Amino acid sequence: MTGFDLFTPINNEMIIVEERLIHSIDTELPELNQAATHLVKAGGKRLRPAFTLLVAKLFADSVETVIPMAVALELTHMATLVHDDVIDNSRLRRGQPTVKNEWGNRISIYSGNYVFAKSLCLVAGYQRSDLLKVLADASMRICEGEIRQMLSCYNIQQGMKDYLRRIERKTALLISVSCQLGAMISQASEGQITALKRYGYYLGMAFQITDDILDFVADEEILGKPVGSDIRQGVITLPAIYALKYGNQREQLGKLLSSPELCTKEAEAIIALITETDGMDYAYHVSNRFADKARQQLDLLPDVPVKKSLYDIASFISGREY
Amino acid sequence: MTGFDLFTPINNEMIIVEERLIHSIDTELPELNQAATHLVKAGGKRLRPAFTLLVAKLFADSVETVIPMAVALELTHMATLVHDDVIDNSRLRRGQPTVKNEWGNRISIYSGNYVFAKSLCLVAGYQRSDLLKVLADASMRICEGEIRQMLSCYNIQQGMKDYLRRIERKTALLISVSCQLGAMISQASEGQITALKRYGYYLGMAFQITDDILDFVADEEILGKPVGSDIRQGVITLPAIYALKYGNQREQLGKLLSSPELCTKEAEAIIALITETDGMDYAYHVSNRFADKARQQLDLLPDVPVKKSLYDIASFISGREY
């Protein structure tokens, strides 16, 4: 089974999401249009809209009504990506040149603001301020997470708790909100909404931990970015935190990881020092625990075929080969 | 009469707005807290909340209900300023170091996103999606305006129409929306809402034109930024457009204004070339025309004392000495 198969129940709706994403960029300004369209067309896993749609399918066969929200969530996600690329000075994302690389900082910042504003217009269309509140709260906390990640670079004192809080904001929150909003629009009960919000949260945690593991091992073709790009930028993830605490050569590793210069120059040596500890296995284990918790949330939900997809996605995400 | 006197009818409410602005920054993250608080405390004319409050006063003595919106509009405005400072690489704003100068690009970008998200949370509190729609649409168009301004730098081919479209997005739109939203929350009639939206629009146009005139003459103490800072950045405003078209030395001026290097090195010579034409008088005249149009919108509105303030503000704004 591939990750793609898991989205079969919503294949048709995802095609519509893709079209609407492209059409959502409707500015007359050529530079903004090109940059924002590039951002949308650069693709990605479209995880957030997929979850909104899958969750909606739990409650109804026809999920037309959640499509604008699914599009809005992907636009919100893109707005954070384009700003991150400015901040990280990234050349590539998903194997394609970033907006920053092609159009520079200015257009990138404004393109991010534009697609976020566009996302709000779509949310406004629902005429429900409870939906806006969820998204606005999440956006605020995502900003905090981004600053937290920035400040934690090259910091070898950070622990597991710092890491978890960071990835919660960076990834889990918006996936959680994608599930929650899908449920809210689908007239789910309060209990079901909470369960799905938690499902998304745990799944997002599992997803980011696996993503961080993959950064040590997957090759550029799979990841769309060079191996070890976290290390090179001083982003200390779970395997590194483990190795800094329990590894035999933790002192040497600490010296390397706390120096921006050595993180770039000695990235391969750092990766070797981390992968020879049990850090990857440990991270894999933590990711699995979150995936277990995600699956547990599904008990309360209607027994319809799409429930199995949500279940399998949790297993697939934490079980990605490394 | 000073500009300050014109806001007398809402003095008490403006004090509450100021307090709420400070309290709206409630993140636990020290860096974000400091940067966003600096941004709020750096002050400013608070024009946007003032208009929301004044407009509300047309319809009711107690305007408590519009205060969160007034705060939200100032936060939205600040979000654009902090991003602009990153893009323009500005050291000072209103005579104070910018967030960019003190905390760098990364914190600046995220602080902007944070205060904008905070603004949305306040708007969500109204549980009215029509209000969100107005703000989201405006935010999108403001992004377009910012990109337009960026692309028009050093472009000596631009005409009056380009300039007007740019300042509409850059300034008039958010002031227009501030008046419109104040009216919408105050249960004004459709006709009154439209009149106030237009009032804000024309007033915003007059305001930006006068601001652009002041950049040629006011000293650093009044403006909080160095004289000629537009010229130095290649921002071609109305007096310059006039001088490029009708000035005796338009060819020489064109050569200077189209060169980023000369705009910095020869800023004083450029200012002299422009101020010796009728460009300033012409801009002053255009600003007055917009102020006239603003005042005309007030005919439809209830005859209460605050109406005179709105009237006088239009006169004051276009009549600032230069």
Residue A224 is given by DSSP the state S
User: Which of B121, B140, B144 shows the shortest C-beta gap to A137?
Assistant: B121
Chain B nearest-CA residue for A35: B147
User: Which of A113, A120, A144 shows the shortest C-beta gap to B132?
Assistant: A120
Which of B171, B192, B307, B189 has its CA nearest to residue B238? B171
Task: Give the model confidence (pLDDT) of B144-172 as tens digits.
Answer: 888 888 889 999 999 999 999 999 998 99
- The backbone region for B277, taken as left when phi is positive above 0, alpha when psi lies in -120 to 50, beta otherwise, is beta
Asked if B144 lies within 8 A of A114 by C-beta distance, the reply is: yes
Structure tokens at B165: 């479209």
Contacts of A33 in chain B (CB under 8 A): none
DSSP SS3 for A33: helix
Contact between residue A262 and residue A233 where contact means Cβ atoms under 8 Å apart = no
User: Which of B114, B140, B148 shows the shortest C-beta gap to A140?
Assistant: B114
Asked if B120 lies within 8 A of A136 by C-beta distance, the reply is: yes
Q: What is the pTM of this model?
A: 0.87
**Is the model's pLDDT at B46 over the cut of 50?**
yes
Please tell me the distance in Å from B150's CA to the nearest CA on chain A: 8
Tally of CA atoms within 13 A in the half-sphere of A53 that contains its CB: 26
Instruction: Choose, out of B25, B34, B143, B170, the residue to mutate when testing the contact with A (most A CBs < 10 Å).
Output: B143
Output the pLDDT for position B225. Answer: 64
**Is the model's pLDDT at B111 over the cut of 90?**
no
Structure tokens at B169: 């997005």
Output the pLDDT for position B102. Answer: 72
Task: Give the model confidence (pLDDT) of A186-225 as tens digits.
Answer: 999 999 999 999 999 999 999 999 999 999 987 666 666 6
Please tell me the distance in Å from B18's CA to the nearest CA on chain A: 21
Instruction: Choose, out of B113, B134, B135, the residue to mutate when testing the contact with A (most A CBs < 10 Å).
Output: B113
User: Which of B116, B125, B147 shows the shortest C-beta gap to A32?
Assistant: B147
Which of A265, A277, A141, A295 has its CA nearest to residue B32? A141
Q: How far apart are alpha carbons A201 and A61 in whole angstroms?
A: 24
ipTM: 0.84
User: Which of A110, A144, A147 shows the shortest C-beta gap to B147?
Assistant: A110
Task: Give the model confidence (pLDDT) of A99-158 as tens digits.
Answer: 777 777 788 888 889 999 999 999 999 988 899 999 999 999 988 888 888 889 999 999
Q: How far apart are alpha carbons B237 and A110 in whole angstroms?
A: 22
In this structure, are strands A96-97 and B92-93 parallel, antiparallel, or unpaired? unpaired
Which of B9, B151, B3, B132 has its CA nearest to residue B76? B132
Contacts of A100 in chain B (CB under 8 A): none
- The boundaries of the domain holding residue B255 are 3-318
Q: How far apart are alpha carbons B178 and B188 in whole angstroms?
A: 14
Which of B314, B58, B75 has its CA nearest to residue B207? B314
Task: Give the model confidence (pLDDT) of A172-186 as tens digits.
Answer: 999 999 999 999 999
Chain B nearest-CA residue for A131: B124
- For the residues A62-84, what does the mean pLDDT come to? 92
Asked if A139 lies within 8 A of B120 by C-beta distance, the reply is: yes
Asked if A29 lies within 8 A of B148 by C-beta distance, the reply is: yes
Output B241 or B233, whichever has higher pLDDT.
B241
Structure tokens at A130: 């409870």
CATH number of the domain encompassing residue B268: 1.10.600.10
Asked if B31 lies within 8 A of A151 by C-beta distance, the reply is: yes
Number of domains in chain A: 1
HEC letters along A55-112: HHHCCCCCCHHHHHHHHHHHHHHHHHHHHHHHHHCCCEECCEECHHHHHHHHHHHHHH
Output the pLDDT for position B52. Answer: 97
Q: How far apart are alpha carbons B126 and B71 in whole angstroms?
A: 13
